Structure 1
């Protein structure tokens, strides 16, 4: 039985990677064509376009995973059906439920990989890509690093980890210099309100003042600091909610709520990301009726076509329902998980009707 599970799982993974490669290549090419219009703006050049496309590939992979899971399952099982292998399996006493379990076991591994990619891989790469592109086009002179960015004002330098919509910056380090080029003080702040283009408000601060014979440390709840960035620069550096990891979205949602600001877009983005692995599993389950449900003789091409239409329809409906929910003030968990629940119900209902 383990040999059979491996055989079905390998066929599914092969089909999945074929579909994901085709879809990601197609959408990467379309993005490449769109980026060509920005070449020549500021210091943005062709090599920057290639870097942007490469760094955003993990995000496109995540966007395509549910669709690829659906089509990959249909292709894998459809080919087994066309070659008569499914008939042999069932003739040997293997039930439809047991074959479905083999596919779902591999789908569970795919769900786990999707969650890891969503949390640890795609967000930092996409954030770096977005910031690099924005800074190159605007040519602000801000220095971007893998951990954030650097800016200068007179004899002082600042390093900021992230900037988010709503005027929130996190992980700030300020180095205040004197006229001789020495370090006069170091300030670390957990976060700051930077929406004011003249003065920032730092929070949870540790300030170290360097004197001739000693270093004095001060812990302060808040502190005002002259702004290092203009309003235009802040807008350029802001990271959209969909570029953040689920854990970061949760943290910034809490921070916005503590400030009394609207966090609905962050909550929606969080639930959409949490739903990706669940949607992937639902799509794998939905693929099974396409193989065991249709009349015998249905071609694999027709199965793939119908599956693609269902996948596209689900993607569009999911996006529309999510943003409609914001307008109607429905909780994002309901609008995000309801389509997944509907897919699961339809898949299970169709499977129960399978011969």
Structure 2
């Protein structure tokens, strides 16, 4: 890598840093305002502020496509304004070679974001959500029904009303069906405690059985039950899918499939780990058509403004595609990967045509 390449990459990363300093605090402020709606006696505004601080790396990762385009426009746009890009081209750098260097900077930016996502953003987001859920669980105003958990294994369906602040299941219902979909057994336990090998102890149990036309109901102070859940599964179910790391997503998707439970949301989150970097590279390549212009061109400011709009619209459209994929159960490969790939191909075509004109 020669001195010109290093010079370009340095200016690009300065632009990425400047864009992050502009966008991340702005969106973090919006997140903090949203968190204030949940502030109560048990969840103070200081706790809300701490939660938002924990979410800063996640905000950086989510905004990375927009940061890539806006930062690249800032970095190369400043060089174009100072006629430095013209000087670099006069030194033998074609527009295509500049695009290659820009793409290399995008790969470096994407790699650093992947590290942040996997080892910083995901653990901190999980800690933030656990802190918030723990605080809200102590509030008398909290709605426990919002934390209902469902599970299925074969003909057995399980509903857990909520977890208490110690993470123990409360309000456990077990529905066991016959092959003809008639109810065979019904269990209701006021609470449960975890045991070894997926064995739970149910407390204050009401057990109803149907034997032909007979219905037999018994009350027991406690009983053992072979649960389809374990404590880790329940903790994970309380977390948002985007907070999972790649190994957590793979393991949990395998668990959901093995128990015949829907896994669309988590498969979509896994594919986003690949789709977002592709979109970042597409945005990076779009820097060339928006900034590689004559520095004295009076339309340069308009081009930069258009680049910002394109970045924002692309970011919004990608989020819409992801949500539409979940709503209509579209295969995650199509809903999450195809839009960034199409954008990347369009960016490559634009760079090629721009290089031919120059």
1:90 counterpart = 2:89? yes
Q: 1:226 aligns with which of 202, 206, 210?
A: 202
Which residue of structure 2 lines up, in the alignment, with residue 310 of structure 1?
A: 310
Q: What does 1:125-274 align with in structure 2 at a 5 Å threshold?
A: 125-139=124-138, 166=150, 196=172, 198=189, 207=196, 222-226=198-202, 238-274=238-274
Change over 3 Å in CA distance of 1:193–1:134 after alignment to 2:
closer
Aligned residues of 1:165 and 1:240 also touching (Cα < 8 A):
no
SS at the partner of 2:172? coil
CA drift at 1:331: 1.1
Aligned residues of 2:279 and 2:341 also touching (Cα < 8 A):
no
Which residue of structure 1 lines up, in the alignment, with residue 99 of structure 2?
A: 100
| Equivalent-residue separation in structure 2 for 1:295 and 1:79 (angstroms) | 9
Q: How many residue pairs are counted as aligned between the two chains? A: 289
Change over 3 Å in CA distance of 1:267–1:193 after alignment to 2:
farther
Superposed CA offset, 1:195-244 (max 9, x none):
83637697xx8x5xxxxxxxxxxxx5x5233379xxxxx79971121221
Change over 3 Å in CA distance of 1:53–1:201 after alignment to 2:
closer
* Structure 2 unaligned residues grouped into runs of 5+: 141-146, 153-167, 174-188, 205-233
Which residue of structure 2 lines up, in the alignment, with residue 216 of structure 1?
A: none
CA drift at 1:292: 3.1
1:19 counterpart = 2:1? no
| Equivalent-residue separation in structure 1 for 2:305 and 2:77 (angstroms) | 12
CA drift at 1:89: 1.1
Change over 3 Å in CA distance of 1:252–1:165 after alignment to 2:
farther
Superposed CA offset, 1:89-114 (max 9, x none):
11122111111122221211111111
SS at the partner of 2:63? helix
SS at the partner of 2:321? helix
User: TM-score, normalization: structure 2?
Assistant: 0.72
Change over 3 Å in CA distance of 1:243–1:347 after alignment to 2:
same
Superposed CA offset, 1:253-289 (max 9, x none):
1100000011111111111122222221121112222
SS at the partner of 2:200? strand
CA drift at 1:328: 3.6
| Equivalent-residue separation in structure 2 for 1:335 and 1:294 (angstroms) | 38
| Equivalent-residue separation in structure 1 for 2:88 and 2:296 (angstroms) | 16
| Equivalent-residue separation in structure 2 for 1:266 and 1:235 (angstroms) | 15
| Equivalent-residue separation in structure 1 for 2:316 and 2:19 (angstroms) | 19
CA drift at 1:341: 1.3
* Structure 1 unaligned residues grouped into runs of 5+: 142-162, 169-191, 208-219, 229-233
